[in-house]
Amino acid sequence: MAGPAEYLKRFPNLEKEELRVLHSTAGDMCRGLKKYEEAFAYWEKALEADAWPMDPLYSIACCLSDMGEYAKAADAWKRIVDELIARGFTYEVEWPRQMMNEAKAKS
């Protein structure tokens, strides 16, 4: 069975947003298979592909929290909070801020 990388090679002319979505989805699939190294690699590609990084950032933060990497998770949640504030999404920062504080408390 072909993995996400082989599948993505079939679409060389994708727009940046499409690449972000596909790489984020591939990362989420790898996370579900507990292939964390591959998941993080796909999420990093998603971050490089598009200026709207929220999907892969949430995936990274949630995965790090699930893995017990609380200090790294807190940093990832902080990046989400900072991105949301920078874009004027002040209401939307409450949950990521709460998750950041929980991760800090566990680290």
Distances (CA, A) of 36 to 20, 54, 80, 88: 18, 19, 20, 32
The residue whose two tokens read 């892969």 is: 56
* pTM greater than 0.75 (yes/no): yes
Upper half-sphere CA count for residue 95 (Cβ side, 13 Å): 5
> Which residues make Cβ contacts (< 8 Å) with residue 51, sequence separation at least 6?
16
pLDDT for the residue numbered 103: 98
Letter for the amino acid at 49? A
pLDDT tens readout for residues 35-69: 999 999 999 999 988 777 899 999 999 999 999 99
**In angstroms, rounded to a whole number, what is the distance separating the alpha carbons of residues 3 and 52?**
25
Query: In this predicted model, what pLDDT tens digit does every residue of 6-42 receive, in sequence order?
Result: 666 666 666 777 788 888 999 999 999 999 999 999 9
Model pLDDT, residue 12: 62
Cβ atoms of 80 and 96 closer than 8 Å: yes
